[in-house]
Chain A
Amino acid sequence: MKNTTDTNSLRAGKHTATSRTIDKISATLSRRHKADRIFRMTGAAAVGTSLLFIALLFGSIFYNGYTAFFQTRINLEIFFDPAELTVTEGRVSGDFNSLVHKALDSEFGQPDSRDQRRKLYGMISQGAVYELGEMVERDPALIGTSKPVWLLADDDIDMLAKGHIDRSLPEDQRRIDNIQLEWVEQLESSGAVRTFFNSSFFLSADSREPEMAGILGALTGSLFTLFITLTLSVPIGVAAAIYLEEFAPKNRWTDLIEVNINNLAAVPSIVFGLLGLSIFLVFFWTSPLCPACRRHGTDTYDVADNNHFKPVCTEIGTSLDPRCSTVSRSIGYPDGFSSCSAPGRSGNHDRNNYRNGSGTG
C-alpha cells in the first residue's frame, strides 16, 4: 500500500496551499515507514517463532524417541542341548536359561565369582529365552544341533550400544560395569552386536523389561476407547446438528442448546472425567469383587502378589483375606466407597476399580 503515500506526495506538489501539512507528513514519513517495517517484522517473527516451536517439538521428540524403534541383539552360538530340553506332545520344556548361560560361558569363559556371573548372564534379556523356546517349538529338529542366534540384549546393553551411555564416564557413574563394557566391546569388535528393527515394540504389551515392552496393549485400549467414542458421538452429534440447522425453530430453547453445546466443547476434560467417575460409582455399586481382585482370585494368588497387595489393602485399613475382597471400612459408613488395586499396578488402571459398599452393607 505504498502507492497511497506516493499519490499523497504527488498531490502535494500540485497544491502548494497545503504544502505545510505536506511538510509535516513528509517529515514523519520515514519514521512511519520504519514503524511499518518493524510491525511487519514483528509479525514475521511471531510466525517464525510458532514454526520454530513446531520444529522444536517434533525435532526433540523424534530425536529422543527414534532409537526406541530399534533393539540391540547379540549373536551367540547356542547349543540346543538334548540333555536340557524335552519335547512332549509338540511342547518344548526345559531350561533355556542354561542354554544362554552356557553360550555366554563358552564365549567369555565362566567367571569365577557369583557377582560376575550374574553380570554376564544379565547381559541377555529374559525375552531371549522366550524367543529360543518359540524357535525350538517351531523346529524341534534344532535340538542337538548348534546354531548362531541373535539374542535380545538387556536394556542397559541396548542403551550402551545405541550410545546413550557415555563409555568415558568413571565406572561408578555408569549403569554398565567395566567388565560388562569389556565384554560388550569384545562382542562389538567381532561384529556380534547389531541393532534390529524393534518389532516387539508394536507387537507386545507392557513389560517390566524395557527391551520387551511394547505399545500393543495401550494401542488396543486407545482403539477401543476411540471406537466407543465414535459410535456414541457421531450419530448423536450429526443428529443434533441436523435438528438445530434444519428443524429447530429459533427460540430460547434452541438458543440454550446451542450455547450448551459450545460450552461443553470448552469444558475441561477433567470435569468430564469427574462426571464419568460419578456415573461409575452410581451404576456399578453392586460390582462384586473389584475387577482386579477377581482376576487375582485365590487360585492365582501367591506370595509375591501378597507383598504388593498388603500395603494397598492395609492402607484402606481392611486387609481381610488374600483375595483382596477388600471390604473397606466404609461399610461402617452408609455411603462409603472403596477401591483396591491390582498387585504391582497403578495409575489409570486403578480407576476402574471403584466400588461401593453401601448397597450391600
Chain B
Amino acid sequence: MEFLPCSYFWQLGGDTLLLHISTMPYTPELESYPAHKLLQLQHEIRWIAEQGGTEQVAASSSIAAEAAATYSNLKEISSAAAWAVIIATGSCCGYLVYQRIAPSFKARTKVEQMIRWALITSSSIAILTTVGIVLAVLYESLRFFALVPVTDFLFGLVWSPQTALRTDQVGSSGSFGAIPVFTGTLMVSGIAMLVSVPVGLMSAIYLSEFASYQMRSIIKPALEILAGIPTVVYGFFAALIVAPFIRRLGEQAGLSVSSESALAAGLVMGIMIIPFISSLSDDFLNAVPQSLRDGAYSLGSTQSETIRHVLLPAALPGIAGGILLGLSRAIGETMIVVMAAGLAANLTMNPLETVTTVTVQIVTLLVGDQEFESAKTLAAFALGLLLFIITLILNIIALTIVRTYREEYD
C-alpha cells in the first residue's frame, strides 16, 4: 500500500514526458500546428490510449493513432520500470536495516526519537499551512497586481469584475476597486455585531451572575446549539425566512427594502455569533476572583452595580478579545452571505439595500467557468489575501489579549 502513492507520482510526472516522446516522430508535420491544436492532439492521444484502440481510433487521425500506440507502449514500460525501482528501493532498505541489527543497537531510544520527530512534524504542520496559505494566495495576488495596480484595487470605488474574454469585446476592462466590497462586509458584520454583542454579553452576565445552577445547566448548552448549526442552515434561514419577513415589514412601513438586504444577512449572522460572544464572556466573568465580588458587596453595592462597576471592567479585556474573535468570524463568514446577501457592489450606507461582501465576491469569481490568467479570476485571490490579512490582524490582537488576560488571575 505504501508504494501506491509513489507509483502514482511517478506516473503523474512521467506521463507528460511520455506524451512528448510519443509525438516526437511526427515533429516536421506538427511544427505547423498552432499551440492549441497540439494540446488537442495530446488529449486525443491520451484518449485513444485509454480507450484501448477501438472504433475511436478509426475515426481519429493516423498521427494520433500511431502516437497513441507508442504512448501506450511507453506507458507500459514506464510502469514496469516504476515497479522495478520500487522493489529495488525496498530490498535495499531491507538490507540496510538487516545490517544494523546488533545487540548494541538501542532500538528504544531510536523509536523514542522517531516518535518525537513525528510529533514535532505534526505540530509544525500548522505553521506549514499558514505559510502555504500566504504563499499560494500571495502568488496569485501578485499575478493579479501585475494586471491591476495595487492602488486601483485598494482605493477604487467601483467593483465590476465582469471582464470580457476577448480584448475586442465591449467592456473588456473591468474595474477592481475593493472599497465597495469591503464596506459591504463591514456593514453586514457591523449589523451582526450590533445584534450579537448586546444579546451575547447580557446572556453571559445573566447566566453567570443571576441564573440558578439548574437554569444555567439547561440554557448554556441550549445556547451552544447555535454554535453547532452549520452556517448553510443559517443561510437558508436568512434567505427564505428573515429576508422576506424584513421586506414585508419594510413595505408596510412604506420603505423599499431589497430582498437581499444587508439587514437580513447581518441579523442572522448576529444570531450565529451570539454563542461565541456569550461563552467567551461567560468564561471571563467566571474567571474574575470571588474576592472582587465580595469586596464590592461589602461596600454596599447592589448586584447590578457590582457587575457594571467591578466585574465588567475586570473582565473587559477578555470580553473585548472575544468580541474581536466574533468580528473576525463575521468578516470571514461565507455561506450566510452567499445565500442572503447580494452580488451587486453598492457603495451605500443603507442597510436596507443590497450589498455584497468579500466572501461572496470570492465565491462568485471562482464558481463556474473561468480562465486562470484573467484579472477577473485572480481578483478572488487578491480579495482572499486582503481578507486573510484583516482576519489575521484581528485574530492576533484578540488572541494576545485573551492569552495574557487568562493568565492574569491564574
Contact = CB atoms under 8 A, between A and B. Distances in A.
Interface of A: 1, 4-5, 8, 25, 32-33, 35-36, 38-40, 42-47, 49-51, 53-54, 57, 60-61, 64, 235-237, 239-240, 242-244, 247-248, 254, 256-257, 259-264, 266-275, 277-279, 281, 286, 288-289, 297-299, 312, 315-318, 320-321, 323, 325, 327-333, 335-341, 346-348, 350-351, 354, 356-357, 359-361
Nearest to B216: A47
Given A278-B136, A279-B136, A240 B43 contact: no
Interface residues of B, number: 105
A240 B121 CA distance: 8
Interface of B: 12-13, 15-16, 19, 35-36, 38-40, 42-44, 46-47, 56, 59, 116, 118-120, 122-127, 129-130, 132-133, 136-137, 139-140, 143, 165-166, 198-203, 205-207, 209-211, 219, 222-223, 225-226, 229, 233-234, 236-237, 240-241, 271, 274, 278, 297-298, 300-308, 325, 328-329, 331-334, 359, 362-363, 366-373, 380-381, 384, 387-388, 391-392, 395-396, 398-399
Given A36-B302, A40-B210, A320 B40 contact: yes
A336 B206 CA distance: 57
Contacts of B229: 57
Contact of B373 (A57, A297, A337): A337
A54 B226 contact: yes
28 contacts: A1-B297, A1-B306, A35-B304, A36-B303, A39-B308, A40-B210, A44-B210, A46-B203, A47-B219, A50-B199, A57-B226, A242-B119, A254-B123, A264-B130, A266-B398, A267-B392, A268-B331, A272-B133, A274-B140, A275-B133, A298-B47, A312-B369, A323-B43, A327-B43, A331-B39, A336-B372, A347-B367, A350-B368
B interface secondary structure, majority: helix
Contacts of B226: 50, 53-54, 57
A51 B396 contact: no
A338 B373 CA distance: 9
Contacts of B122: 235-237, 239-240, 243
B331 A248 contact: no
B297 A239 contact: no
A328 B165 CA distance: 11
B308 A288 contact: no
Given A260-B126, A264-B126, A332-B36, A270 B384 contact: yes
B356 to A, nearest CB: 14
B78 to A, nearest CB: 14
Given A49-B199, A337-B372, A346-B368, A54 B222 contact: yes
Contacts of A315: 165, 369
B133 A271 contact: yes
Residue of B303, B305, B373, B391 contacting most chain A CB atoms (<10 Å): B373
Nearest to B234: A57
A243 B119 contact: yes
B206 A239 contact: no
Contacts of A317: 165-166
B378 to A, nearest CB: 10
A35 B137 contact: no
B366 A263 contact: no
B140 A61 contact: no
B206 A46 contact: yes
B206 A267 contact: no
A224 to B, nearest CB: 17
Q: Please give me the 7 A-B residue pairs with the lowest Cβ-Cβ distance, nearest first.
A: A268-B332, A337-B372, A43-B206, A46-B202, A278-B136, A239-B122, A243-B119
Contacts of A298: 47, 56, 59
A35 B126 CA distance: 49
Given A262-B399, A274-B380, A281 B372 contact: yes
A45 B201 CA distance: 12
Given A54-B225, A341-B369, 7 more contacts: A47-B206, A50-B199, A57-B271, A236-B125, A263-B396, A268-B334, A278-B139
A217 to B, nearest CB: 17
Contacts of A49: 199, 203
A318 B36 contact: yes
